[in-house]
Amino acid sequence: MKENKKHIIIIGLTGGAGSGKSTVARVFRRRGACVIDADKLGHELLNEKLPCFAKIVKGFGSGILSDKKTIDRGRLGERAFSDPAEMSRLNRIVHPALLREIKNRILLCRAKCPARPIVIDAALIVQWGLEKKLDILIMVNSLKKLRLARLQARGISMIKARKIIASQLSVSKTKHKAGIIITNNGTIGQLEKKAARVWNKIFI
């Protein structure tokens, strides 16, 4: 690993909902990484001024709109997670635009600071086939019961939390693609220390 550290430019950071990958991303950001947050970009694509907005409203109807005529992510999520066909429809609309935006952000990070490591924080890296374009893929893994508890702590119902986890690629299918696996079955502090050790292993 250390012999190749100078060549590692793009790191993929993946893990299911509630796994703790956002915490790892935060640790990496503090150490100088340019972090591209796929969830955040996905939310930005719902802006009414962007093409995805009209496509989503056309596909799912005005019932997903809030009183302010913006997309209510809660309502959209309920529709999408209620039926695999609805989820596929949403993914067909959002994912192409999201992948384009990720590529744009990579170019932007490189232009601003060519020597700065880039971290793509996304749950669906393997589904998208992005792992083939990475220098290394890191997976954050956690027990399902802990992931469910963390999602519930965010105000998500148990039923919806189960649907969210079920909609994502199985752990086993992601695990064998990862070069490094961080197990997160403890405290946030323990996870932060593990993330710091992984960073040091790669770059120091």
Q: Which domains does the chain have, with CATH numbers?
A: 1-33+117-204 (3.40.50.300), 39-115 (3.40.50.300)
CA dihedral 47, 80, 176, 97 (to 10 degrees): -30
pLDDT of residue 8: 58
163: its two tokens: 């649907």
pTM above 0.95, yes or no: no
DSSP string of 19-61, one letter each residue: SSHHHHHHHHHHTT-EEEEHHHHHHHTT-TTSHHHHHHHHHH-
d(CA 53, CA 70): 9
Q: How many other C-beta atoms lie within 10 A of the C-beta of residue 80?
A: 24
Residues of the chain where predicted confidence (pLDDT) is lower than 70: 1-8
CA-based R_g, the chain, Å: 18
pLDDT of residue 2: 45
* 96-120 pLDDT tens trace: 999 999 999 999 999 998 889 999 9
| One-letter amino acid for residue 12 of the chain | G
